[in-house]
Structure 1
Amino acid sequence: MCGRNSLFHPQADLEARFDAEVVADGGYTPRYNIAPGDDLHIITNKAPDEIDASHWGLIPFWADEPEEGLINARSETAAEKRVFQEAWESRPCLVISSGFYEWRASTGGAKQPYRIYRDGESAFAMAGLWDVWEGDDETISCVTILTTEPNDLMDPIHDRMPVVLPQDAESEWLTAGPDARQEHCRPYPEDDLAAYEISTRVNNPGNDDPQVIEPLDHEQSGLGEFGSG
């Protein structure tokens, strides 16, 4: 799964990278610890030249009241699930990231958090689905992140990973039909992702500062072959 994200690149860099303008209400604030229920910055197929903010958690259209929603959708079955079917067919989006976090289970101990990022520290896009939940008195733009099987980097850490899109696939993700998009729902095929252990400060969403992404000392962390400075 993908249960925590970050986005802290300067706004000008993001706009240049994705050839899109930030239009989110309230503008853009760098975030180091984005939790479910917070806003994610996304680019939708309906507005490919805009970076907007959307509630992380796709709220089922049948829900009577707003709720946290579904933060992830398995890419292998999204087309079959009633809650995701319409979004899968016609509402793809890019979820922008400076790096996501995952926790590695250990025998008899606390889970160890990792930061996964693109080598060279460039921003990247994860594949998502967006929707708009409509209530009696409000509407909420919401989003879920698609997941797939882990690649070689992620396999020792977790049994799922977000669908990270190669840069040259981002435009097609937004414009192609569902069959073509399904071809992109696979473990990230490039070798420019890296991972390293971080402290458990990330466990508390209230910790939202650059200290969250500081690596643990390798001698103390036992990072071994899974890490990259």
Structure 2
Amino acid sequence: MSRTMVAGNWKMNTTPREGHELVRQVIDRVGTPATKVVFGVPAIQLMAVQALVKDPSGYAVAAQNMHEEQSGAFTGETSAAMLADAGIEYVILGHSERREYAGEDDELINRKIVAAIAAGLKPIYCCGEKLDIREAGNQEVVVGKQIEQALGSLSPTQIESVVIAYEPVWAIGTGVTASKEQAQQMHNYIRRMISNQFGADVAEHMTILYGGSVKPGNAAELFAQPDVDGGLVGGASLDAESFAAIVQAV
């Protein structure tokens, strides 16, 4: 089974009408994809987009967040069980914007990951370093700690449900992209971490995405790296032509 994937994170963009048209245009351009294609859409659009991606096969929908509790007095939140019952397959967790603006740390993210897996969802776990960490040469220390804290408590069975997205914070929305060598180095480090913790077979089959200003002009060289299995795409996922081109670069 291929471990490749291209996921789009729309963030807080597009109205339901705009989102419907964006998905339709991507599917029209790509047809049946050669890789898994995931639309990470605002909560208000989840069920509508889920209804759109049933045909052709190869497409799925991701929530951009979820609450760690099963239910309760948490106004404005969505549980893993709600997402699963709506047919949603993936949930993006640990994104740098959630860490920065909502104060989420890896202890909380771990709780969300465990809840997501228990409900049958597949977490897309985001990790990555800030610019000062990269400049100091400590990127592996920081990313390694993020992975250990968020994923280290999982069982080998649980970890098989997880997709990891390496997103250097200094490259998100900046137009600056990690070089293919930088991306490969970190992805290889992550895969070795997973191998050491959960075994070589789990690591070999794990999908590890690169995120950070992925666009049609750099997607092919990034995706050609042996440990880069695709991308978690931000701004370019909001343009059907660009996102389709990225999907076709895998």
With normalisation by structure 2, the TM-score equals 0.27
Higher share in helix? 2
Higher share in strand? 1
With normalisation by structure 1, the TM-score equals 0.29
